[in-house]
Amino acid sequence: MNPTSPLRDAQNLFAATIPFRPLAAETSPIDQALDRTLFVDVVAPIDSPPYSRAIVEGFLVRTAETQSASEALPITFTVRGQCNPGDSQCPPVPEGGAIRIVTGSVVPDGAYSAIRMWDGKITGETITITRPFPPRFFLEDQGCDLKKGSTILAAGSTVTPANIGTLASLGIEKIQVVRKPRATIFASGDEVIPYTAAAQARPGAIFDCNTVMLSAAVQAAGGTPIAGGIMRDDFDTFQAALRRALTESDMVIISGGTAIGGRDFVSDLLRATGQLLVDGVQMRSGRPLIMGIADGKPIICVAGHPPEALRGFLTFGVLAMNRLLGRPLPPPEDPAPPAPGGGGGGPK
């Protein structure tokens, strides 16, 4: 997208008015933290791995004793012990001896190497090798992945399945995440009826598909949707409902109602309630895209036509959600224009 396009300019103007800060923190068990936004950095409480260990099954030997091995001069080690899974320490490796190990076995620091089962010839309790091995061959040192006190995840990042695995591997049970922004969603228009009210269908009526669609989009963006209901074309009633919503939620989304009876209904509504920031954008659904702010809370007004309503939310609603979550992300790109048609939901 052109960095100076009308859409980008409108996004930047809108973003500049929304405080970039996460909402309140709350504690989440890691098994419920998928896709949540971190409130603070998470640091490693221990080293990872927490001890030096083998990462193969085989035999632990002194590295120096392998260095002269060759096809002409093979070297044989005698197995003198073993380190089983869960053992807290490895038996000492004697001269000329080997310790049987498995993946995850505790190993000592120093110049030792793991000989894999197929790296030598096993005969009874001996293993013969015909080549040298480098120090720490197939051994992991304590803290080689993460050091205690190092940052695992940064504040503002979104928790992934891999992150959850890392947290669990370090014994972390709970993390501080950002409270999900609450977004009240209004549909508007005298012609709009609930999509669950098929018995009320009549010529000229339109099922409200935008509320449920935008609710899903809010959830996908990391928020909690609140259904504000279908608002009729009554300015005073709508303004009262909007003001109530602003006391209960962190942002408001309105679909449809941008022009009623020749009046710029939503533009006037935003002027009367807070500050009108963006009054139309030069894009396919340009005029119905109206943005404002009241009490520091963003108000996003999108088209009534469902594909354009969703497109408007993806370009401005997601931006607002990221600001409220404290996610350091750039404004979203304009999604591809929807195909012609695409259902009802408010022609305004």
Using an 8 Å Cβ cutoff, are 199 and 57 in contact?
no
Name every residue whose Cβ is closer than 8 Å to that of residue 72 and which is 6 or more positions away in sequence: none
Render pLDDT for 11-36 as a digit per residue (tens, 0 to 9). 999 999 998 888 899 999 999 999 99
Please write down the HEC assignment for all residues of 219-240. Answer: HHCCCEEEEEEEECCCHHHHHH
Binning the chain into helix, strand and coil, the percentages to the nearest 5 are 25, 30, 45
**Lowest-pLDDT choice from 260-264, 288-292, 344-348:** 344-348
Query: H-helix or E-strand containing 164?
Result: helix 161-169
User: Pick the residue with more confidence: 347 or 304?
Assistant: 304
Rounded to an integer, the average pLDDT of 341-346 is 45
* pLDDT surpassing 90 at residue 121: yes
- What pLDDT score does 2 carry? 59
For 118, the token pair is 């197929």
Question: pLDDT digit string (tens) for 183-200?
Answer: 999 998 878 877 777 777
Residue 9 has pLDDT above 50, yes or no: yes
Residue 310 near residue 209 (C-beta atoms within 8 A): no
Q: Which of 218, 299, 227 is nearest to 266 (CA)?
A: 299
* Residue 168 pLDDT exceeds 90: yes
pLDDT band at 262 (very low <50, low <70, confident <90, very high): very low
Q: Report whether pLDDT(280) > 90.
A: no
Q: What is the secondary structure of 85-103 as a DSSP string?
A: TT-SSPPP--TTEEEEE-T
Give me the residues paired with residue 28 across strands.
Answer: 175
> What pLDDT score does 348 carry?
46
Domains and CATH numbers, the chain: 6-23+180-325 (3.40.980.10), 25-47+148-178 (3.90.105.10), 53-140 (2.170.190.11)
Higher pLDDT, 278 or 176: 176
pLDDT at 339: 53
Tell me, what's the pLDDT at 1?
53
Residue 340: pLDDT over 50: no
β-pair partners for 263 = 260
Mean pLDDT of the chain: 89
- Range with the lowest mean pLDDT among 130-144, 259-273, 331-345? 331-345
Given this model, what pLDDT does residue 192 score? 80
